[in-house]
Structure 1
Amino acid sequence: MSLTKFNGNGTLPSLLDEFVGKDMEGLHSWSWPAMSRSRVGSVVPSVNIREDNDNFYLEVAAPGMKKKDFNVVLDNGRLTIYSEKREENEEKDEQKRFMKREFSYHAFSRSFWLPDTCEQERIEARYTDGILHLTVPKKEEAKPKAPRQIKIT
């Protein structure tokens, strides 16, 4: 019999979660104060994470934003994607009384721990078609190597 580790919300952790690291958003306790601080007025975009032999790829779904709305910061192996957007719409009548005034504030932050096998100095980011793409190259020693025959003497 083996023990299976749960991640706190009743679901099994995925291998990619274990390899890349937990998304920092999931580290909050789910008591009501933490939930109100992290959830009110914020929309957390979905993130796809995939890998091939040479790179990890993160894709953040953020339609309607511009590349200037994003900040991507790497600090001691933690990659943080942050965005903040403010909008104000105002309609007035001729006497300068408010007929309608709407404003909104959207912000999110997602953080990921990178494995030691990444080349952190060579991370690239681009924003196209509503998706922020990040490419995180792997170090040469982390890339799969072709099998070699070992001579028996």
Structure 2
Amino acid sequence: MRRSNQPTLSNFLEDFWDTRGLSTDRSPISMPAVNVCETDEQFRIDVAAPGFNKEDFNLHVENNMLTISSEKQLEDKKEEENVSRREFSYGAFQRTFTLPASANADKINAKYNNGVLVINIPKKEEAKAKPPKRIDIR
């Protein structure tokens, strides 16, 4: 049974999806798809971002807001006899999520593997589900 002061997954997702996204019109980078999961121990955000390197991402927490951003500059250079062409493209995205009160922002960690950025947001100890406790009757 869940304690009443804990947010439910649906409440968390409603608050969590209070996001602010940004992408530029000139951007070849589309806003990446995001999955949000909750367990008894943590929240997890999976960001589908194939073609990136872990160095392309910036993550920071400020005022209970988690911001995920990336800027990427690509250069297409083609040289042939008497013809030289160089095209630059620039792309950026930013997603900001409101963290629930039960999140432990000091312990957030992230890993990028096989095109997916996985962000683990542990819950505070007092917010974790506790196993049922048997009460002896005297």
TM-score between both structures, scaled by the size of structure 2: 0.81
Using the TM superposition, give the Cα deviation of residue 76 of structure 1 relative to its aligned residue in structure 2, in angstroms.
1.1
Q: Which residue of 2 aligns with 1:32?
A: none
1:72 is the counterpart of 2:72: no
Q: Deviations over 1:50-77 (max 9, x none)?
A: 0111010001000010001000011111
1:20 is the counterpart of 2:16: yes
Q: Distance in 1 between matches of 2:117 and 2:62?
A: 19
Using the TM superposition, give the Cα deviation of residue 39 of structure 1 relative to its aligned residue in structure 2, in angstroms.
5.1
Question: What letter is aligned with 2:130?
Answer: K
TM-aligned CA distance change 1:152 to 1:19, over 3 Å:
farther
TM-aligned CA distance change 1:19 to 1:144, over 3 Å:
farther
Q: Distance in 2 between matches of 1:21 and 1:64?
A: 25
For 2:55, what is the secondary structure of its paired residue? Answer: helix
More helix by percentage: 1
Aligned CA RMSD, in angstroms, stands at: 2.1
1:122 is the counterpart of 2:118: no
The 8 Å contact of residues 12 and 100 in structure 2, kept in 1 or not, is answered as no
1:147 is the counterpart of 2:132: yes
Q: Which residue of 2 aligns with 1:3?
A: none
The 8 Å contact of residues 21 and 114 in structure 1, kept in 2 or not, is answered as no
Hey, which bits of structure 1, 4+ residues long, moved more than 4 A? Answer: 150-153
Q: Distance in 1 between matches of 2:55 and 2:61?
A: 17
Q: Which residue of 2 aligns with 1:63?
A: 50
- Equivalenced residue count is 127
Q: Distance in 2 between matches of 1:86 and 1:138?
A: 36
The 8 Å contact of residues 62 and 132 in structure 1, kept in 2 or not, is answered as yes
Identity, % of aligned pairs? 42
Q: Distance in 2 between matches of 1:71 and 1:60?
A: 13
Q: Which residue of 1 aligns with 2:3?
A: none
The 8 Å contact of residues 23 and 94 in structure 2, kept in 1 or not, is answered as no
Q: Which has the higher contact order (CA 8 A, sep 6+)?
A: 2
